Each structure stands twice: as C-alpha cells, then as structure tokens.
Amino acid sequence: MHAIVRTYSGKGAKELFDLLEKRKADVEKLMRTVTGFSNYALIRTADGGVSVTVCKDKAGTDESLKKAKEWIKEHAGNTGVGAPTVLEGAVLLHVK
C-alpha cells in the first residue's frame, strides 16, 4: 500500500476546506474512482487542512493527486489556494 498526504495552508486554504466540507459527497465520489483506492480522509487544521489518501500502490496515489489538482482547479480556483505540500511513501501499518 502507498499513501499520499497533501497539506494546504496559507492564502485560500481555509476557503478550500470550507468548500470541501460543503462538497463532501462529490469529493468522496471522486476519490472512490481512483484505481486501487483504499481510504481517504480530510482533516481541518487551524490554517487550512490536510488530505490523506491510501491506495493499493503508488500509481493510485499519483492518480489521486492528479484528480485532486483537477478538482481544485475546476471547483476552487477562485479561492487562490496554492499548491499543497506533498508527502508520500509506503504504508508500514494500516489498521481498519
């Protein structure tokens, strides 16, 4: 398994997470289309938020990154949010 963590902060990040909260159903539907999808979480922070995607392999997390970028461009481009800080790697332990 492989995970990717995207951290959004600074200009437009709070507005992005307000929109993501309002559009949770749309975001969930999109993430479930990712090949090898395992799970996804959105976490609100004081200055924006974090998304965590776990997939069967790196190809899946790469796809999730691309889909997230496209969704933000299409639906949240007016927030002015910048590119996220991205961390990714192999999952060592996955508890459900």
User: In this model, does residue 96 exceed pLDDT 90?
Assistant: no
Cα angle value 55/57/62 (rounded, 5°)? 80
Side chain identity at residue 54, one-letter code: V
Give the pLDDT score at 22.
97
For 8, 38, 47, the CA distances from 16, given in Å and listed in that order, are 9, 24, 11
Other CB atoms within a 10 A radius of the CB of residue 31 amount to 20
- Dist. CA 56–CA 54, nearest whole Å: 7
- Dist. CA 29–CA 10, nearest whole Å: 27
Q: What is the pLDDT of residues 17-54, one digit of tens each?
A: 999 999 999 999 999 999 999 999 999 999 999 999 99
User: In this model, does residue 6 exceed pLDDT 90?
Assistant: yes
Model confidence band, residue 73 (pLDDT cutoffs 50, 70, 90): very high
Q: Is the pTM of this model over 0.85?
A: yes
- With beta carbons less than 8 A apart as the criterion, state whether 17 and 68 touch: no
Nearest to 35 by CA among 5, 73, 64, 4: 64
Mean predicted confidence (pLDDT) in 90-95? 94
User: In this model, does residue 71 exceed pLDDT 90?
Assistant: yes
